[in-house]
Structure formats: C-alpha cells, structure tokens
C-alpha cells in the first residue's frame, strides 16, 4: 500500500517536514538525482527509498544554526 507523504505525518513528531529542505536551500545547498538510485546532497548519497523508510523521530542532525555552521565549516 502506497501512502502520500501527508498521510504519514502523523507517524512522526516532525511538525515541519520541509524545514530541512528549506534550510538547505537558504544556506546555499542543493541536490541532484542521477540514475544511480541515490539523491546526491553535496558529497553524500541518500537512497531514494520510500517516505516510510525515511521517517525518523530523531533527526540525523540538529537543525540549530551553530550545528549547521560547524558542518558547513568542516565541508570547506
């Protein structure tokens, strides 16, 4: 059974599901997709998968400005 992402929002505590994407664009980041089955975000490859496979209650990284600044500094 396929679920629309909006139907899955009740399964996670994420109240603003697009906040990470918007922050990435605001900070000058981007992504692209190729035929490899991965979404390339800077130098990281994220499997496309399904919305259910990517739902997590604990974020991979904190979206606090100081944490993101440190990540950006390390990427230079």
Sequence spans of domains, the chain: 15-75
Q: How many CB atoms lie within 10 A of CB 66?
A: 8
Q: Is the pLDDT of residue 76 over 80?
A: no
The band of 17, judged by pLDDT with boundaries at 50, 70 and 90, is: confident
- Beta-sheet strands, E only, within the chain: 31-33, 38-41, 44-47
54 burial level (CB within 10 Å; 0-12, 13-18, 19+): middle
pLDDT score for 66: 93
- Could you give the C-alpha distances from 5 to 39, 57, 59, 72, 75, in angstroms and in order? 17, 15, 17, 29, 31
Per-residue pLDDT, 14: 58
Q: What pLDDT, in 10s, does the model give residues 22-72?
A: 888 998 888 888 787 888 887 778 888 887 787 777 777 888 889 989 988
pLDDT of residue 45: 84
């Amino acid at each position: 059974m396929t679920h629309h992402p909006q139907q899955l929002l009740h399964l996670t505590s994420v109240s603003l599901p697009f906040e990470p994407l918007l922050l990435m664009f605001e900070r000058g980041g981007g992504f692209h997709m190729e035929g490899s089955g991965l979404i390339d975000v800077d130098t990281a490859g994220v499997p496309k998968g399904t919305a259910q496979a990517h739902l997590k209650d604990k974020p991979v990284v904190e979206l606090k400005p100081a944490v993101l600044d440190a990540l950006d500094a390390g990427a230079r």
